[in-house]
Amino acid sequence: MRRRIALLYCLVVFAESCLAQSWPAKPINLLVSSAPGAGVDVFARILADRLKTRLDQTVVVENRPGASGMLAAGQAVKAAPDGYTLFLMPNTLVIAPYVLSKGAATVNVITELAPVVMPVYTLMVLAVNGKFSAGSVGELIEIAKKQPGLPYTGGDNGSPMHVLGEQFRKAAGLDLVHVPYKGVAQAVTAAIAGQVNVIWMPTSGNLRHFSGGALRVLATSSAKRTALLPDTPTMVELGYKEMDAVAWFGLLAPLATPAPIIARVNREVNAVLALPDVRAGLTSTGYVPEGGTPEALAALMRVDDARYRKLVAEHGIRAD
């Protein structure tokens, strides 16, 4: 029996090795949960273009927005585990199962998909309309205390920015009201127009609004000051020790995707992220290139799962 088990194991390893050597033999489908030009889609197209060169095979970006990202996640879960379907997801999908209504179709990305790599993350910042009088977090708190019910936005209900906003509201003892928008782009547009003067938002795709004066950044949620905004204090250094978080993007594959293929994709994505022009391009648009191992992404997903499960329950955050 032991010999049969050993033989079966060797056959499986041999089959996976052969598959990895012949992969990719056809176009690869890269699922994203946002609409074209929005959110993670921007980075997805950069990655797809560079992987095409390295793999000598087309990488097709397929946009599947809807249901708080669960449409794309569900498609990834059901896809064949052959390396021809990859899923680039925002960490919002770690939060989604805890904020969606009971009965909603959800995917647990931690247990139902295989981690490949965390290619990039984006910082989250507290900003105000450029004409708003607050020039610091302290001044914003003073204004908010004089104006109970002061509105702010963090984009979608249940987004990482919304969670940060609720953490800040409670920690500072403020009466703030969250105004949801369908995505970051709409929220940023509203803040620039002065429809809502306070916003938690990502740096990705938005640095031009800060340099141009349309929005003023008061603080970041990173643990340490960032080269993107070197003169901006962090919430941690201002005394908000629990407000250390980033919005990251993870590349995942269907469960049972052969380990050699996951290793190959991981290696190629890390190689893309090491290219000087790619790093410079990502940094200039507000992304921070990261990379690493599948195990590092898995660990990060578990940490965020515990973090957001606790915060969502503590602040009563819902997506509807």
State the pLDDT at residue 104.
74
Is residue 11 predicted with pLDDT exceeding 70?
A: no
> Please, what is the end-to-end C-alpha distance for the chain in angstroms?
55
What's the whole-number average pLDDT of the chain? 92
- So what's the pLDDT on residue 19? 54
Other CB atoms within 10 A of residue 53 CB: 11
**Strand ranges across the sheet with 198-202:** 198-202, 124-129, 215-220
User: What gap in Å lies between CA 67 and CA 217, rounded to an integer?
Assistant: 31
Give residue 320's pLDDT: 72
Topology match between the domains 2-121+247-315 and 124-220: yes
Name the class of domain 2-121+247-315.
Answer: alpha beta
Q: Of the candidates 60, 152, 70, 66, which has an alpha carbon nearest to the alpha carbon of residue 106?
A: 70
Residues 175-229 have pLDDT tens digits of 999 999 988 999 999 999 999 999 999 999 899 999 999 999 999 998 899 999 9
List, for residues 233-243, the tens digit of each pLDDT value. Answer: 999 999 999 99
Q: Which CATH architecture has domain 124-220?
A: 3-Layer(aba) Sandwich (3.40)
**Selected residue with higher pLDDT from 148 and 17:** 148
State the pLDDT at residue 75: 96
Q: Which two tokens stand for residue 4?
A: 């049969």
Predicted TM-score of the model (pTM): 0.89
CA–CA dist 306, 319 (Å, integer): 18
How many of the other CB atoms lie within 10 Å of CB of 174?
18
Is the pLDDT at 2 greater than 70? The verdict is: no
Could you tell me the residue ranges of all domains in the chain? 2-121+247-315, 124-220
* Burial class of 151 by CB neighbour count within 10 A (0 to 12, 13 to 18, 19+): middle
